[in-house]
Amino acid sequence: MNGIVYPYGSSHLIDTQNDTIYLPNKIEKANFARLKDEIPATTLLQLSGGIDSAYVLWKWLKENPDKYCLVHHIVLINREKRHEKELEACDKILRWLDSQGLNNYFYIQNTFDYGNMTEVIWDVEICGFLAGVLLRADRWKNVDNILLTQYDRNTEREMSRRQILRTTARRNINFIYKLDTMTKQQVIEDMPKELFNICWYCRTPINGRKCGNCMTCKTVERANKKSIDDAYKNFLSGL
Ligand SMILES: [Zn+2]
């Protein structure tokens, strides 16, 4: 931790003044965050700002009021240029969760920027690596579970994510795929409408708006339309 505390969830339990260390210039000091009463988080979730991770987080916080989740967002800067919209969505989602009394989590954020490197690996591999880095910290040593929000755990990219995460974390982690028995439509139908409306799902925004053409725009719009159509049919059949 570099001492930055974000105003979400249970961040009031983090004390940045407890520990300091001198930098190599022997003049300046850096602060380390530490929990005031050492409540350990047990579970990690990487929140992208999209529907799937927002849904899984909301459900877990609701179903596990006595446990703490470590919520991690990566500001992932690549040629698709959606990082600002995703960060904006995370801010809205976390504020909404707090407004619902669901504040049993700690929030960590960092940035990965491709710069002028060629993009040759999957985003989930970057997520796996950074999750591993996060879990190496002594402070998160009780985090044994990671909630994953992919619908299929048996893809090459998921296997790669798990391998990278285990190697970096240097310990065994339980990978829990919460959506592997669900469809996108079921997720949309099961989540509060308010939450759905503040998520960001477009991969390639144009001037800050959803493009309507990318794979995730089409998948979400199709599932949402089917959900509305089904609800309307059910309503008519009940008349
Ligand atoms: Zn799009």
DSSP assignment string, 147-192:
EE--S-S-SHHHHHHHHHHHHHHTS--EEEETTTT--HHHHHHHS-
Query: pLDDT-derived band of residue 239, with 50, 70 and 90 as boundaries?
Result: low
Of the listed ranges 8-22, 95-109, 190-204, the least confidently predicted one is: 8-22
Question: Mind listing the domains of the chain with CATH numbers?
Answer: 11-182 (3.40.50)
Instruction: Give me ligand 1 centre to Cα 78, in Å.
Output: 15
Helix (H, G, I), strand (E, B) or coil at 4: coil
CA distances from 168 to 30, 125, 129, 178 (A): 25, 11, 6, 23
Cα angle vertex 12, ends 149, 14, to 5°?
A: 80
**Mean pLDDT score, 34-44:** 79
153-184 pLDDT, tens digit per residue, is 999 999 999 999 999 999 999 999 999 999 99
Query: pLDDT-derived band of residue 235, with 50, 70 and 90 as boundaries?
Result: confident
Predicted confidence at residue 233, as pLDDT, reads: 83
9 within 8 A of 103, measured Cβ to Cβ: yes
Predicted confidence at residue 218, as pLDDT, reads: 94
15-30 pLDDT, tens digit per residue, is 666 677 888 898 988 8
Q: Which residues contact 62 (CB under 8 A, 6 or more apart)?
A: 102
AA identity, residue 237: S
Query: pLDDT-derived band of residue 1, with 50, 70 and 90 as boundaries?
Result: low
Of the listed ranges 101-105, 125-129, 156-160, 229-233, the least confidently predicted one is: 229-233
Instruction: Give me ligand 1 centre to Cα 215, in Å.
Output: 7
Instruction: Give me ligand 1 centre to Cα 218, in Å.
Output: 7
Instruction: Give me ligand 1 centre to Cα 199, in Å.
Output: 13
Instruction: Give me ligand 1 centre to Cα 212, in Å.
Output: 5
Q: How high does pLDDT run on average in the chain? A: 91
How much is the pTM? Answer: 0.90
Predicted confidence at residue 230, as pLDDT, reads: 83
CA 100 to chain CA centroid, nearest Å: 18
Phi first, then psi, for residue 86 (nearest 5°) are: -65, -40
**Mean pLDDT score, 180-191:** 94
**Mean pLDDT score, 190-202:** 96
Instruction: Give me ligand 1 centre to Cα 108, in Å.
Output: 26
Instruction: Give me ligand 1 centre to Cα 17, in Å.
Output: 43
Predicted confidence at residue 4, as pLDDT, reads: 77
Instruction: Give me ligand 1 centre to Cα 50, in Å.
Output: 12
Query: pLDDT-derived band of residue 237, with 50, 70 and 90 as boundaries?
Result: confident
Q: Which residues contact 59 (CB under 8 A, 6 or more apart)?
A: 178, 190
Instruction: Give me ligand 1 centre to Cα 85, in Å.
Output: 12
Residues with CB under 5 A from ligand 1 (ion): 202, 211, 214, 217
